[in-house]
Amino acid sequence: MEAALAEVIRTSQVLPGAGAGTPPDALPVAAPLRDLIPGGALARGSVVAVPEFGLLCLALAAGVSAAGAWCGLAGVPELGVLAAAGLGLDTERTLLIPRPGTAWPQVVSSLLDGCEFVLLCPPAVAAAQTRRRLEATLRRARGVLLVAGDWPGAHVILQVTWQEWSGLGDGHGRLRACRAEVMAAGRGAAARPRTRWLWLPAEDGTVAAADALGMADVPEVMRAPKVAGALRTAGTPGVADAPGMADVPEVTVPRVVRAPKVAGVLRIAGRPKSDECV
């Protein structure tokens, strides 16, 4: 690992694909996510938190990787490499540490020294002292740390607040796409919450901007608000409509089918079925 990091440090001084629109003190993000991030880019030295690992995390990593940055992913043994590559993650410039073990803070610190972007799924909430040490390393290395989990004091927090799956007809079918409302909040420039609708994923497996209006013209849509970490089926008693969805008629499915909770990655690339989820 030491030799690999030395090579990373030697070659990661410049982001060849960063583009003129990204300031030198930030890392680029994929176009559909720019409106959620203050300044449209990830500030170097910052921590971004997403409650759980999923397609949103991979989309952030892929946007940075596509610009030529080295990425480190730690604590994500369930990562679908083909799905990540399909989103734009450059596997030749990515270091994977699936199971860093109890020494994960040291592993992440080493990755931060060599990679401009590190995705971490910690086994537990990091102690305050551990967070301070890693944040100091992060500021010195001028990278970005994306935490799939809880990280008190994160500069930006991204969370999926509502999901709609399409593809189910009269109680049967395959899940083909997921339209999600993503909310961003945090500290400083991110203190004012903002929301955007995204396809996570679209039918072709990509992440794309979605229309903020409803999908009444798609009859097989199943509306499933995410409540307290779980997905509820449309029409469930006690579940209120999402903001901005008042004009969307609920679809009655003869046989109730629960939407899968996307805690992992929706495997698109190389899978035999379009409804296979992790």
CA angle 13, 15, 16 (to 5 degrees): 120
72 or 20: whose pLDDT is higher? 72
Per the CB < 8 A criterion, the answer to whether 143 and 118 are in contact is yes
Please give the backbone phi and psi of residue 135, each rounded to the nearest 5 degrees, phi first. Answer: -65, -35
- Which stretch of 40-44, 49-53, 241-245 has the lowest confidence by average pLDDT? 241-245
For the segment 229-270, what is each residue's pLDDT rounded down to a tens digit?
A: 333 333 333 333 334 434 434 433 333 333 444 333 333 333
Per the CB < 8 A criterion, the answer to whether 23 and 67 are in contact is no
Threshold 0.85, pTM exceeds: no
Helices then strands, counting H and E runs in the chain, come out as: 5, 13
Question: Does residue 117 have a pLDDT over 90?
Answer: yes
Confidence of residue 202 (pLDDT cuts 50, 70, 90): very high
CATH topology of domain 2-10+25-156: Rossmann fold (3.40.50)
**Per-residue confidence (pLDDT) for residue 21, from 0 to 100:** 65
Q: How is the chain split into domains, by residue range?
A: 2-10+25-156
**Per-residue confidence (pLDDT) for residue 2, from 0 to 100:** 53
- Strand-pair partners of 149: none
Mean residue pLDDT of the chain comes to: 77
Mean pLDDT calculated for residue range 172-196: 93
Q: What is the spatial distance between Cα 135 and Cα 138, in angstroms, rounded to a whole number?
A: 5
Q: What is the spatial distance between Cα 243 and Cα 160, in angstroms, rounded to a whole number?
A: 13
Question: Does residue 75 have a pLDDT over 60?
Answer: yes
Express the helix, strand and coil content of the chain in percent, nearest 5 each: 25, 25, 50
